[in-house]
Amino acid sequence: MTIENISVNKSFDGWHKQYSHQSETLNCTMRFAIFLPPEASNGKKVPVLYWLSGLTCTDENFMQKAGAQRIAAELGIAIVAPDTSPRGEGVADDEGYDLGQGAGFYVNATQAPWNRHYRMYDYVVNELPQLIESMFPVSDQRAISGHSMGGHGALVIAMRNPERYQSVSAFSPISNPTNCPWGKKALAAYLGKDTAKWAEYDACLLMRQATEFVPARVDQGEADDFMTEQLKPEMLNAAAEASGYPLELYRHDGYDHSYYFIASFIEQHLRFHAAQLNK
Backbone CA torsion sign across 103, 153, 234, 169: negative
The rounded mean pLDDT for the chain is 97
Answer yes or no: is pLDDT of 121 > 90: yes
- Which residues are identified as catalytic? 148, 224, 257
Second-level CATH architecture of 3-278 = 3-Layer(aba) Sandwich (3.40)
pTM score, two decimals?
A: 0.97
* pLDDT, mean of residues 80-108: 98
Please, are residues 146 and 51 in contact by the beta-carbon 8 Å criterion? yes
Q: Which residues contact 241 (CB under 8 A, 6 or more apart)?
A: none
Domain ranges of the chain: 3-278
Report the pLDDT value the prediction gives residue 90, as an integer from 0 to 100: 95
Over residues 187-223, the pLDDT tens digits come to: 999 999 999 999 999 999 999 999 999 999 999 999 9
- Order of strands across the sheet with 28-36? 3-11, 14-23, 28-36, 78-82, 46-52, 138-147, 167-171, 216-221, 247-252
Residue 43: per-residue pLDDT: 85
Q: What pLDDT sits at residue 261?
A: 98
pLDDT of residue 15: 98
The model's pLDDT over 170-197, given as tens digits with 9 standing for 90+, comes to 999 999 999 999 999 999 999 999 999 9
Angle at Cα 47 formed by Cα 41 and Cα 48, nearest 5°? 95
